[in-house]
Amino acid sequence: MSATRSPSATTPRRALICGVGGQDGAYLTRLLLDKGYEVFGTSRDVTGMRGAGLSAVGARSRVQLVSMASNDFRSVLQTITRTAPDEVYNLAGQSSVGLSFEQPVETIESIALGTLNLLEAIRFVDKPIRFYNAGSSECFGDTADAAASEETPFRPRSPYAVAKACAHNLVANYRDAYGMHASTGILFNHESPLRPDRFVTQKIVRAACRIAAGGNEALTLGNLDIHRDWGWAPEYVDAMWRMLQQDRAADFVIATGRSVSLEHFVATSFAHFGLDWRQHVRHDPSLLRPSDIRFGAADPSLAERQLGWKARVSVEQVVAEMCRAAQAATSSGG
Ligand SMILES: C[C@H]1O[C@H](OP(=O)(O)OP(=O)(O)OC[C@H]2O[C@@H](n3cnc4c(=O)[nH]c(N)nc43)[C@H](O)[C@@H]2O)[C@@H](O)[C@@H](O)C1=O
């Protein structure tokens, strides 16, 4: 089976990235521009969009921004019709697991209904558009018994995970029922300097950086006794692209294959700045989730066999890169 489609020599391929304003949107835009794509990116209201991630990867002026509300079918259909993409990447929707307990309706609507609207709009325009859906390892729930593969059943433990499981099943159904080239990437945690503070990795790294610079503060965290497979986001967007170059659409687990504890992440981050984390971290029970995943572990071997994709960056390198970026921002007053 040939893994890669060859680009046309004359017309650049068009990609539509829904939810371009986040970490993955920025890195994916950069990747696709480098591959010669014409890139359109959506956000709910592009007039108010800061686009700091796009600027950080040097792609702000080269992506064509479009306002689109993915939970509004009219808006989605209009965007697909006007941009006429060859490939659609669905990265839109509420992305915080913690916040999904506070905003369950917005979470379900933006993820599940948003994905359904995109699938329906693509079906409606009846063009051979390839569709990537950002799935999540959160769908597996706890994987204490065995590393999760594409065959592992879902046991979601948050409104976010329930929404992602619904979107995943919709994509599989549209692939089976209508022969659509639609795939879900079941991505485990992937981090970078573009992560907002809402996610634990950036919260830790920036706090350690401030403390190292003389800040008089303690870092408050919820459950330290969790394990995750943390990878490097710029590598993960390449896996997304590879999925859409396959002759046959399928779903893939994307991860490093190694899980470590949050305590290891904290200790490595503080050690980067020459600090002992135990002196600076406090437990805050208000940061505990109503239900959480204790152990998340992945088996990404299918992606290596079929997509030729393998994570190269270790969690320790992720920490080092994030710490360097935080330090550079501090020195430049950012
Ligand atoms: C694959 C998946 O990956 C991400 O979801 P996440 O794993 O929930 O990411 P997080 O960084 O918010 O939490 C990681 C763990 O860390 C624990 N934790 C402790 N103390 C704090 C704390 O203070 N803040 C946060 N945020 N978490 C804390 C928290 O309870 C959880 O067990 C998203 O990209 C999501 O979109 C996605 O799909």
In the chain, how many domains are there? 2
- For ligand 1, is residue 189 a contact (CB within 6 Å)? yes
**According to the model, what pLDDT value does residue 49 have?**
87
Q: Is 77 in contact with 118 (CB distance < 8 Å)?
A: no
Which residue reads 């393998």 in tokens? Answer: 310
Distances (CA, A) of 39 to 42, 107, 180: 10, 26, 22
Strand 260-261 relative to strand 227-228, pairing:
antiparallel
- Atom 3 (ligand 1) nearest CA: 189
Site to probe by mutation for ligand 1, drawn from 199, 266, 292 as the one with most ligand atoms within 8 Å of Cβ, is 199
- For ligand 1, is residue 98 a contact (CB within 6 Å)? yes
Site to probe by mutation for ligand 1, drawn from 100, 139, 157, 200 as the one with most ligand atoms within 8 Å of Cβ, is 200
How far is ligand 1, taken at its centre, from the CA of residue 97, in Å?
Answer: 7
Structural domain includes residue 164: yes
Q: Which residues of the chain register pLDDT less than 70?
A: 1-9, 334
**According to the model, what pLDDT value does residue 5 have?**
60
What kind and span of H or E run contains 118?
helix 114-125
**According to the model, what pLDDT value does residue 331 have?**
82
Strand 227-228 relative to strand 87-90, pairing:
unpaired
**In whole angstroms, what is the distance from residue 326 CA to residue 332 CA?**
10
How far is ligand 1, taken at its centre, from the CA of residue 117, in Å?
Answer: 27
Please identify, by atom number, the ligand 1 atom nearest to the C-alpha of residue 296.
Answer: 7
pLDDT tens by residue, 93-150? 999 999 999 999 999 999 999 999 999 999 999 999 999 999 999 999 999 879 999 9
Please identify, by atom number, the ligand 1 atom nearest to the C-alpha of residue 187.
Answer: 1
pLDDT tens by residue, 59-71? 999 999 999 999 9
List the one residue out of 24, 29, 16 whose CA is nearest residue 81: 16
| Inter-helix orientation angle 315-331/200-212, to 10° | 50
What kind and span of H or E run contains 228?
strand 227-228
pLDDT tens by residue, 178-197? 999 999 999 999 999 999 99
**In whole angstroms, what is the distance from residue 319 CA to residue 189 CA?**
13
List the one residue out of 308, 295, 299, 306 whose CA is nearest residue 261: 295
- The domain of 54 spans 14-191+233-257+303-307
Which amino acid belongs to residue 208? Answer: A
58 with 154, same domain? yes
Structural domain includes residue 158: yes
Residues labelled as active-site residues: 136, 138, 160
20 with 111, same domain? yes
38 with 171, same domain? yes
**According to the model, what pLDDT value does residue 7 have?**
54
**According to the model, what pLDDT value does residue 334 have?**
60
40 with 182, same domain? yes
- For ligand 1, is residue 167 a contact (CB within 6 Å)? no
Which amino acid belongs to residue 201? Answer: T
- For ligand 1, is residue 262 a contact (CB within 6 Å)? yes
63 with 175, same domain? yes
**In whole angstroms, what is the distance from residue 272 CA to residue 59 CA?**
30
Write the ipTM.
Answer: 0.99
How far is ligand 1, taken at its centre, from the CA of residue 140, in Å?
Answer: 15
Structural domain includes residue 4: no
- Atom 17 (ligand 1) nearest CA: 223
158 with 221, same domain? no
Q: What 3-state DSSP class applies to 202? A: helix
**According to the model, what pLDDT value does residue 72 have?**
97
CATH code, domain carrying 139 = 3.40.50.720
Structural domain includes residue 140: yes
247 with 323, same domain? no
**According to the model, what pLDDT value does residue 41 have?**
98
Structural domain includes residue 6: no
249 with 264, same domain? no
- For ligand 1, is residue 287 a contact (CB within 6 Å)? yes
**According to the model, what pLDDT value does residue 1 have?**
37
**In whole angstroms, what is the distance from residue 139 CA to residue 159 CA?**
10
144 with 212, same domain? no
**According to the model, what pLDDT value does residue 50 have?**
86
219 with 117, same domain? no
**According to the model, what pLDDT value does residue 10 have?**
74
- Atom 19 (ligand 1) nearest CA: 222
